[in-house]
Copies of this chain bind each other. A is one copy, B any other.
C-alpha cells in the first residue's frame, strides 16, 4: 500500500488517497479480502491529518471498493474479476470521453487525437 501525497497538487488530499487506493484495487495490486491498515497508521505514514484519510475511506466504501467491519478493520470488497474489468472500462471510457470532447472543442480531428495518444506510448 504505497501512496504519494502532493501538498501542491490541485486535487484535495482525500481525493489523492481515494484515487490511488481505488486504482490499486482495480489493477489488482491490492487483492480482494486484503485488509487495509488502520486509518491512524495511514495518517501517520502519510503525515497528514486523520480527516482526509477518513473521508477517502468513506468514499471508497460508498463506491463499493472496501467494507468496514466494526471492531475488525476495513477489507477490500470481494469484487469478481469481471466486475473489476467492467469498473475499469467504465472509468476509462469516462476519462477518454471528457478528453476527446475537450479536444474536439479545440478543433482537433480524430486522426490528430489518435496520433497524440500513440505518441505517448514508448513502443508504438
Interface residues of A (CB under 8 A from B): 7-8, 12, 23, 26-27, 67, 69-70, 88, 91-93, 95-103, 105-108, 110, 112-114, 116-118, 120-121, 124
Contacts and interface: CB of A to CB of B under 8 A. Distances in A.
21 contacts: A7-B69, A8-B67, A12-B70, A23-B105, A23-B106, A88-B106, A88-B108, A92-B116, A95-B102, A96-B99, A96-B113, A96-B117, A96-B120, A97-B120, A99-B99, A100-B117, A100-B121, A101-B120, A113-B117, A114-B117, A114-B118
Given A27-B105, A69-B7, A95-B102, A121 B110 contact: yes
Q: Is the interface of A mostly helix, strand, loop or mixed?
A: helix
